[in-house]
Structure 1
Amino acid sequence: MIRALLCDAHPLVRQALRQVLAEAGIDTAAEAPDGAEVLRLVLAAEQPFDVVLMDIEMPYRDGLDLLRRLRSECPRLPVLMLSAFSDKQYAVRSLKLGAAGCLSKTADAAQMLAAVRTAMGGGLHIPPDVGAQLDGALERRGRPPLRQRLSPREIEVLRLLASGRSVAEIAAQLELTAHAVAECRAQLMALTGMRNDVELALYAVREAVV
């Protein structure tokens, strides 16, 4: 069974989240009322959690700071950030720091469950309005478009990965060795900060590569 860690200072919020997850067959393995407890539970867990749902505003330790620490200590652990704020900058900052997704505490049960499933599947849950603001924030920082930062071969490999092709299939189509394609894939992940093919595909769509 999927094991979730719920992190929010308010017991009623945790109760609501617990009920939603239970309906989907997801076990709330532990709950944390503050950032210090989140870190303690994650680091001390004998059986790793499958997903973390965490409020951006956590007592004793800022949620974004805690996200940085979790990404460092447990890079494979998906963390979904929750926020009661209407300012989407909180969500944008979370995604830049490596969150598996973000959503409002006002999200309904279907949206909440979709976010959890996406995160656990290795994808990114990005609401459309937040995605648009994320792109805008990156452009305001003056970052060149992705196409200007990649070689033609890297763009072609990224396009094929985003279409669902395997490393072996890409190697055959481009007449490259599988090792060369795998190295290109690793370089793309390092450049973009993405963690798997699903995230690379989403990133490619946002950057208008595919």
Structure 2
Amino acid sequence: MSSPLIQESTRRRLTAQQAETVARLTDAAVEVLNADGFDGLTVRTVAKRAGVAPATAYTYFSSKSHLVAEVFWRRLAAGVPEPDLALAPAERVAQILREVSMVVAGEGQLGGAVTVALLGTDPDVEHLRLRIGGFIRRRLAEALEVDPENPGPLVDALEMLYAGGLVHAGMGHLTYADTSDRLVAAAHLLMEKQQ
């Protein structure tokens, strides 16, 4: 049985066969990115690599930015579990920030492509950007055991911290591992100020 994530799409709920098609397209997108970079990525080339008709691919993804944002969303949702409540709050926050920052580490061109894609104006990307931001906000709120609907200034500061860190890494200024280390150190400083 597929997880809800696999059967969920920006545009609609997916059948098992449609979910398989979307999975093939997202896998092929990473392959094309690694071979040709973001500039060489098109929905058409991804469709060809996935063995899917271009018209079919466009029923799922409105643009290459939408496709890359979907790849990131799927990696994030699958790779960032709920915080371990047995840990101290600062360690739970560090756990979330590490996992968020490392979700595209070692993925070749994917990190930079995600940065470009998420800054786009495509309405489907905007929808995913809100979903991604809400997911990370919930994880941080869970780590601090606060209400995700009204988490307070510490979660707001942590959100700004990770967003800036990931853009910095996506631009190639730091590796994702270095970014992760710096995010955790900065989060510890923020949390010390709160005590």
Determine if the TM-score, normalized by the shorter chain, exceeds 0.5: no
Work out which of the two has the higher radius of gyration on C-alpha atoms and give 1 or 2: 1
Higher strand fraction (1 or 2): 1
TM-score normalised according to structure 1 size: 0.28
TM-score normalised according to structure 2 size: 0.29
Which of the pair has the greater relative contact order for Cα pairs under 8 Å at 6+ separation? 2
Higher helix fraction (1 or 2): 2
